[in-house]
């Protein structure tokens, strides 16, 4: 009988870990899907203004998204710091982690928002048509100030997740989807006596909704348990430079990693543009499909950060190891299932975007890229989850090095060579991206395995504990 107990106990521990990860990852993944839904509604409404407005919005987003990714990496560091503090049962340190995240969002957001107000001049300098650049600037005039409240809300979301309560962030996001749609419609088209503000109105609507989401997050933190006991804005003006420097040390490599990844996919789009418009259109649809599927492993990766961080805070190396590997296994299984669905539906998926009257060559190439993308999905999901698990250890500098090597030395180089030297065209670009992602995922998994099999507490976590 004792043998049966010994074999069932580990299985139960792993099962409980998987259940805990699913409970945490589900709301986080749905929150990310909600963000995509808001962007889709905005683009659908802007599309009614004409092709020039859509092109201008694309230019504006290319400028804003770079700034957003930089700040996103910084405030993402709130989650591991707060999770480690929660695991160590240091509630004051949890609040301090959130506080420095809020500081960072404001200190970085104000200057970057001001820079967005001059983005039109930058676009003209980069060779964009003056009319398109001016339209993009009109959009950014309303959109630029959404950066700070968006980051503030993400910092609050990281705090909520660290307390194993991600649901309020999901509720806020679900409420924001229709609110954003209605407000954008009113301000874009001037309904019910409001002035018609076209692209400016779309930007203002996004900013107002972002502010509302942050305010709602603060209200929930003060009105409901377990958040209210933390008094999230308490001593908000108290200096906390050691922890602020620690957040920057963790967050800056995350920002740089995001920018490297964003850069290689932007460069892939440029390569597709050189190949031709058919290749670029097929690439955008296949990549958008991958982005939708990516939201679930992204949520699992966020959950991995929290659960590994909790274990690090408790100084439980075994639990940290289980949390990371369980999340990776869950993500691979989900992405494999999605890959099978895409393989079976690769002929139908392009029709959802292009319609039945689309060019046959475009439909065929999109189906081919989706077929290549099945391995893309698995490696992309694995890398984001492994990255999340490593953030639970505050390990962000080595993954940055891995990203530079994988995305640019391996991924971009292979994409260019296969597309133009080997003559594979658009398919070669995607094979190169897959090779880069596979290299990155493998390096991250090996890195986590090495760290997780050491019975140690990261130096950054020790520093945080010492200053609690």
Residues 76 and 178 in one domain: yes
Residues 272 and 157 in one domain: no
Residues 196 and 293 in one domain: no
- What's residue 1's pLDDT? 42
Report the domain count for the chain: 2
Is 6 inside any structural domain? no
Final residue before a domain boundary, out of 198, 221, 238: 238
Final residue before a domain boundary, out of 238, 257, 289: 238
Mean pLDDT, rounded, of the chain = 90
Of 79 and 3, the one with more pLDDT: 79
Residues 176 and 321 in one domain: no
Residues 229 and 273 in one domain: no
- What's residue 460's pLDDT? 44
Residues 148 and 83 in one domain: yes
Prediction pTM value: 0.90
Read off the pLDDT of residues 253-293 as tens digits, 9 standing for 90 and up: 999 999 999 999 989 988 988 898 888 888 888 888 888 88
Give the lowest-confidence range in 320-334, 407-421, 445-459.
445-459
Do you know the residue count of the chain?
468
| pLDDT score of 5 more than 60 | no
Residues 126 and 269 in one domain: no
Is 5 inside any structural domain? no
Of 411 and 453, the one with more pLDDT: 411
Residues 267 and 321 in one domain: yes
Is 76 inside any structural domain? yes
Q: Please tell me the distance from the alpha carbon of residue 81 to that of residue 245, in angstroms, as a whole number.
A: 12
Is 9 inside any structural domain? no
Read off the pLDDT of residues 355-374 as tens digits, 9 standing for 90 and up: 766 678 888 999 999 999 88
Read off the pLDDT of residues 191-215 as tens digits, 9 standing for 90 and up: 888 889 999 999 999 999 999 999 9
Reported in sequence order, the residue ranges of 211-262 that DSSP labels E, i.e. its strands, are: none
What domain range includes position 282? 246-468
Q: Please tell me the distance from the alpha carbon of residue 173 to that of residue 179, in angstroms, as a whole number.
A: 10
Final residue before a domain boundary, out of 189, 210, 238: 238
- What's residue 50's pLDDT? 82
Contact 309, 87 (CB under 8 A): yes
| pLDDT score of 230 more than 50 | yes
Contact 313, 461 (CB under 8 A): yes
| pLDDT score of 459 more than 60 | no
Q: Please tell me the distance from the alpha carbon of residue 244 to that of residue 4, in angstroms, as a whole number.
A: 50
Give the lowest-confidence range in 2-11, 41-50, 234-243.
2-11
C-alpha triplet 439, 367, 350: angle, nearest 5°: 120
Mark 53-74 as b/e (b = at least 16 C-beta within 10 Å): bebbbebbbebbeebbbbbbbb
Is 3 inside any structural domain? no
Is 10 inside any structural domain? no
| pLDDT score of 461 more than 80 | no
- What's residue 6's pLDDT? 55
- What's residue 218's pLDDT? 97
| pLDDT score of 465 more than 80 | no
| pLDDT score of 319 more than 90 | yes
Give the lowest-confidence range in 30-39, 181-190, 196-205.
30-39
Residues 259 and 294 in one domain: yes
- What is the 3 state secondary structure string of 391-455? HCCCCCHHHHHHHHHHHHHHHHHHHHHHHHHCCCCHHHHHHHHHHHHHHHHHHHHHHHHHHHCCC
Is 61 inside any structural domain? yes
Read off the pLDDT of residues 123-178 as tens digits, 9 standing for 90 and up: 888 788 888 889 999 999 999 999 999 999 999 999 999 999 999 999 999 999 99
Residues 133 and 217 in one domain: yes
Distances (CA, A) of 103 to 50, 202, 213, 243, 402: 40, 27, 18, 11, 29
Residues 132 and 181 in one domain: yes
Is 250 inside any structural domain? yes
Residues 251 and 229 in one domain: no
């Amino acid at each position: 009988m004792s043998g049966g107990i010994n074999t069932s106990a580990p299985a139960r521990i792993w099962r409980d870990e998987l259940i805990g990860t699913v409970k945490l990852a589900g709301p986080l993944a749905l929150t990310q899907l909600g963000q995509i839904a808001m962007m889709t509604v905005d683009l659908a409404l802007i599309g009614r203004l004409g092709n020039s407005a859509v092109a201008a919005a694309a230019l504006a987003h290319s400028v804003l998204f770079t700034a957003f990714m930089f700040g996103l990496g910084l405030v993402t560091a709130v989650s591991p710091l707060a999770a480690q503090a929660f695991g160590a049962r240091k509630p004051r340190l949890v609040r301090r982690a959130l506080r420095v995240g809020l500081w960072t969002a404001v200190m970085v957001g104000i200057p970057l928002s001001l820079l967005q107000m001059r983005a039109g001049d930058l676009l003209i300098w980069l060779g964009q048509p003056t009319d398109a650049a001016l339209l993009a600037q009109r959009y950014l005039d309303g959109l630029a100030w959404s950066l700070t409240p968006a980051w503030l809300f993400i910092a609050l979301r990281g705090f909520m997740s660290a307390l194993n309560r991600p649901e309020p962030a999901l509720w806020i996001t679900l409420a924001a989807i229709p609110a954003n749609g209605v407000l954008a419609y009113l301000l874009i088209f001037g309904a019910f006596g409001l002035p018609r503000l076209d692209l400016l109105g779309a930007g203002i609507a996004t900013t107002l909704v972002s502010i509302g989401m942050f305010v709602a997050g603060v209200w929930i933190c003060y009105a409901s348990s377990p958040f209210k006991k933390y008094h999230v804005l308490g001593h908000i003006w108290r200096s906390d430079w050691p922890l602020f420097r620690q957040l920057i040390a963790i967050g800056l490599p995350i920002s740089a990693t995001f920018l490297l990844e964003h850069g290689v996919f932007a460069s892939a789009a440029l390569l597709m543009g050189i190949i031709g418009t058919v290749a670029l259109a097929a690439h955008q649809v296949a990549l958008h499909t991958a982005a939708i599927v990516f939201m679930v492993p992204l949520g699992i990766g966020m959950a991995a950060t929290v659960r590994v961080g909790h274990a690090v805070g408790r100084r439980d190396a075994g639990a940290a190891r289980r949390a990371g590997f369980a999340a990776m296994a869950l993500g691979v299984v989900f992405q494999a299932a999605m890959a099978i669905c895409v393989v079976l539906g690769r002929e139908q998926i392009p029709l959802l975007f292009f319609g039945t009257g689309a060019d046959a060559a475009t439909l065929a190439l999109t189906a081919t890229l989706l077929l290549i993308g099945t391995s893309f999905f698995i490696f992309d999901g694995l890398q984001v989850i492994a990255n999340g698990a490593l953030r639970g250890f505050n390990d962000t500098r080595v993954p940055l090095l891995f990203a530079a090597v994988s995305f640019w030395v391996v991924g971009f180089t292979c994409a260019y060579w296969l597309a133009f030297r080997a003559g594979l065209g658009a398919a070669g670009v995607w094979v190169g991206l897959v090779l880069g992602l596979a290299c990155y995922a493998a390096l991250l998994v090996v890195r986590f395995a090495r760290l997780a099999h050491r019975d140690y507490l990261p130096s950054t976590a020790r520093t945080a504990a010492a200053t609690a």
